[in-house]
Amino acid sequence: MQSRILYALVATCLFTGPALLTSPAMSQDSPQPTPEQIDFLGITTPDKLSAASKRALKWPDIGNEWFVEFQTHNLKGDFAFEKGVCRRDPSAVIKEGDTYYCWYSRSTGKTQGFGGDIDNDKVFPWDRCDIYYATSTDRITWKEQGLAVPRGEPGAYDDRSVFTTEIMKHDGMYYLCYQTVKSPYTVRVKNQVGLAWSNSPDGPWTKSEEPILSPADNGVWEGTEQNRFKVKKKGDFDSHKVHDPCIIPFNGKFYLYYKGEQMGEAITFGGRQIRHGVAIADNPKGPYVKSPYNPISNSGHEVCVWPYNGGIASLITTDGPEKNTIQWAPDGINFEIMSVIKDAPHAIGLNRTADNEAEPTETLRWGLTHQYATWDYQVIRGFTSHRVKRHVAKGAKGDD
């Protein structure tokens, strides 16, 4: 049957003549270009628009306010590379007095993967992590201050690893949300989200006794083999894991943005099938209720969100058909693409001290990222960005 359908499609393309291979004239519902659009977009024949031209005419804006390029650089002190130590997934940076603070995932030793003794091996670089923190006065040289949030006691929901944390300061309190894994760490294990709070950035931290967010429970594994791609039913977009949490105070509530991984995750035309969701609470400690509009993105990897112009902006990277874009939603849920970017740093730790209303990407002017020195060991680095306004040849006049 499939071969007959394929033959029919090929025959249609080959034998229906050249008319099928040309764009039709503009229909009644086609966008009507203005003279300014015709000139800017370089449209040759306004009454015969290609699909690309029709999409271009629907773009909400073609300015450069959201378009940035990035550079990365090494840091000093305890954020310089240290063999045998993995430091990754930096939180946003906040400032207390003259001191900058950052929290991050920290583990030691090489990664063995899933082929050996999962009870004692380290299966990922982010396995067997605790959350540490460091401080700096110049944003270049960082001093590791020690443990902030440890793994839980045996049997707890976070006894295997706590990692990929994000900081929120609200009403004089500090909140760290983070991923958790309960032993044993198998490929079908369901990651959750935990929370800790303190009245000081230096701790001590009180941990939530239960997760504040868990995966959907409507997927069904096929068989008992540890194979995460064998499913009878995939379930919701976050039926396997909830990752990369970040809480933002918004519209008098607390929006917990997160990455969802689906059971039986597929590879699509955009790569891995990764999407983002949001859960909303009246109190920073929850309870958090997932939005009925989830998923709120078609793409993404690590969550990177910030408030701007009464809404929420999101940097979407790495995976999916809308990867490498900056998006914005006036209501924090219905996101639209504002720009397409390249070479965005991984696992961005934003500068939360920025004046977000100065420019839509002001919070991206500097911050933290991580880089793979090897598969086993990652290192925290810095990044900067700049707006790109023009493309000018060397020696030619123009500004950028």
- Which of 58, 78, 94 delimits the end of a domain? 58
Confidence of residue 395 (pLDDT cuts 50, 70, 90): confident
Instruction: Give the CA dihedral 344, 348, 351, 354, nearest 10 degrees.
Output: 40
Q: Are residues 165 and 185 in the same domain?
A: yes
Q: Are residues 51 and 191 in the same domain?
A: no
pLDDT at 399: 58
CA 169 from chain center: how many Å? 20
CATH classification of the domain holding 290: 2.115.10.20
Q: Are residues 194 and 236 in the same domain?
A: yes
Is residue 398 situated within a structural domain? no
Strands 231-233 and 366-372: unpaired
Do 343 and 70 form a contact (C-beta atoms < 8 A)? yes
Q: Are residues 112 and 222 in the same domain?
A: yes
Is residue 400 situated within a structural domain? no
Confidence of residue 353 (pLDDT cuts 50, 70, 90): very high
Q: What is the pLDDT of residues 192-229, one digit of tens each?
A: 999 999 999 999 999 999 999 999 999 999 999 999 99
Q: Which helix (H) or strand (E) holds 54?
A: helix 51-58
In this predicted structure, the answer to whether residue 137 has a pLDDT above a threshold of 90 is yes
In this predicted structure, the answer to whether residue 133 has a pLDDT above a threshold of 50 is yes
In this predicted structure, the answer to whether residue 55 has a pLDDT above a threshold of 70 is yes
Q: Are residues 78 and 119 in the same domain?
A: yes
pLDDT at 31: 66
d(CA 332, CA 251): 9
Across 25-29, average pLDDT: 49
Q: Are residues 53 and 77 in the same domain?
A: no
For tokens 């933290």, what's the residue?
368
Is residue 393 situated within a structural domain? no
Is residue 399 situated within a structural domain? no
Is residue 45 situated within a structural domain? yes
pLDDT at 19: 36
Q: What separation, in Å, do the N-terminal and C-terminal C-alpha atoms of the chain show?
A: 57
pTM of the model: 0.91
**E strand intervals along 137-285:** 141-149, 161-170, 173-181, 192-198, 206-207, 220-221, 231-233, 241-250, 253-261, 267-268, 271-272, 274-281
Q: Are residues 53 and 160 in the same domain?
A: no
pLDDT at 29: 59
Across 47-52, average pLDDT: 93
Q: Are residues 197 and 217 in the same domain?
A: yes
Specify the number of domains making up the chain: 2
DSSP 359: S
In this predicted structure, the answer to whether residue 42 has a pLDDT above a threshold of 90 is yes
Q: Are residues 125 and 207 in the same domain?
A: yes
Structural domain boundaries enclosing 36: 2-58
Q: Are residues 213 and 297 in the same domain?
A: yes
In this predicted structure, the answer to whether residue 28 has a pLDDT above a threshold of 80 is no
> For the chain, what is the mean pLDDT?
91
Do 292 and 269 form a contact (C-beta atoms < 8 A)? no
Q: Are residues 326 and 298 in the same domain?
A: yes
Q: What is the pLDDT of residues 306-332, one digit of tens each?
A: 999 999 999 999 999 999 999 999 999
Is residue 63 situated within a structural domain? no
Largest CA distance in the chain: 74
% the chain with pLDDT above 90: 86
Tokens for 345? 């740093």
Q: Are residues 217 and 349 in the same domain?
A: yes
Do 86 and 376 form a contact (C-beta atoms < 8 A)? yes
Q: What is the pLDDT of residues 70-86, one digit of tens each?
A: 999 999 999 999 999 99
Is residue 394 situated within a structural domain? no
Is residue 73 situated within a structural domain? yes
pLDDT at 390: 84
